[in-house]
């Protein structure tokens, strides 16, 4: 007896430092007729979150037979609402054209799944995505590099941003604590964090200050002066976070030694955990 859906697909995509940072996509393809599971992933040198979300769907559909019935899950509202006709296709037109051309060969049910909420296949996709970003050989996202949305950066700005993504020296915890003015547990956790080749969602959750430290109550201008940060780092943080409290959380994690991309990811993870906790609390009321 043939399954209702020939394939069930889960996809995810992301960017280490959005926009313009290293990106990756991951997908889990389940063939309901054979029971076969297939993982696919890939990484790009410079791209955006949204492009990787769309890319994940494209790569997954390219792997399966045409004229089949597909149930697809993504944690990207951007992808699902666009394909369900709720969002207009304003950017990343090169990818949308490719996806539209592919999609006509299938009967696809587009479903949104909440990210990092215990779904086994969504979590697997996230792991594949994160691993892909760390590959030694990364592809060029030509569609991103050729678009007008790519900001032009002077050599000075590019070099300035590059230094914020250089991993700290974590060879000695005590030295790290002294250099970055953090609490002992925080220093230990960050050093453990950077000794891992593959960083997962939980690894970001586990990072903590272990109480008030030197940076906890420092204001933005004070941190910028002490660390001798250029305005470029603040501009990127503001692009990611609209609220001041999250901007400050991010700059403080940078001051504690996290590279810019990881500081942004840490705050995003904390925001997501807080949102899930609040949703669970409301359900239990």
Q: Which residues are catalytic?
A: 12-13, 53, 75, 116, 126
DSSP helix/strand/coil, 93: helix
Helix (H), strand (E) at residue 162:
helix 155-163
How many Cα atoms sit within 13 Å of 48 on the Cβ side? 19
Which residue is listed with tokens 């991010």? 250
In the structure encoding, which two tokens stand for residue 60, read together? 């997954």
DSSP helix/strand/coil, 25: strand
CA distance 224 to 167: 19
Across-strand partners of 39? 28
Distances (CA, A) of 7 to 10, 33, 66, 101: 10, 8, 11, 19
CA distance 222 to 153: 26
Q: Which ranges constitute the DSSP H helices of 134-259? A: 142-145, 155-163, 173-180, 184-194, 201-206, 220-227, 231-240, 244-255
Q: Which sign does the torsion angle of CA 171, 174, 175, 178 carry?
A: positive
In the structure encoding, which two tokens stand for residue 273, read together? 């955990």
């Amino acid at each position: 007896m043939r399954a209702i859906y020939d394939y069930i697909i889960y996809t995810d995509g992301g960017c280490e430092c959005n926009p313009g940072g290293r990106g990756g996509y991951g997908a889990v393809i389940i063939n309901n007729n054979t029971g076969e599971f297939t993982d696919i992933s890939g990484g790009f040198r410079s791209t955006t979150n949204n492009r990787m979300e769309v890319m994940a769907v494209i790569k997954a559909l390219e792997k399966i037979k045409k004229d089949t019935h597909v149930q697809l899950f993504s944690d990207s509202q951007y992808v699902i609402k666009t394909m369900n006709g709720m969002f207009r296709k304003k950017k990343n037109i090169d990818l949308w054209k490719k996806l539209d051309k592919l999609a006509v060969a299938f009967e696809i049910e587009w479903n949104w799944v909440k990210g990092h909420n215990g779904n086994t296949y969504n979590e697997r996709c996230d792991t594949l995505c994160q691993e892909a970003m760390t590959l030694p050989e990364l592809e060029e996202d030509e569609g991103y590099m050729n678009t007008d949305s790519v900001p032009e950066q002077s050599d000075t700005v590019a070099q300035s941003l590059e230094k914020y993504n250089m991993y700290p020296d974590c060879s000695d915890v005590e030295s790290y604590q002294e250099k970055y003015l953090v609490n002992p547990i925080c220093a230990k956790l960050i050093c453990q964090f950077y000794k891992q080749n593959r960083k997962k969602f939980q690894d970001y959750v586990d990072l903590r200050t272990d109480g008030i430290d030197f940076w906890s109550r420092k204001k933005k201008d004070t941190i910028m002066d002490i660390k001798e940060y250029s305005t470029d780092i603040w501009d990127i943080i503001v692009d990611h976070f609209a609220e001041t409290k999250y901007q400050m959380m991010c700059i403080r994690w940078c001051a504690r030694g996290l590279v810019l991309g990881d500081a942004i990811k840490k705050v995003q993870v904390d925001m997501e955990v807080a949102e899930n906790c609040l949703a669970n609390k409301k359900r239990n009321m």
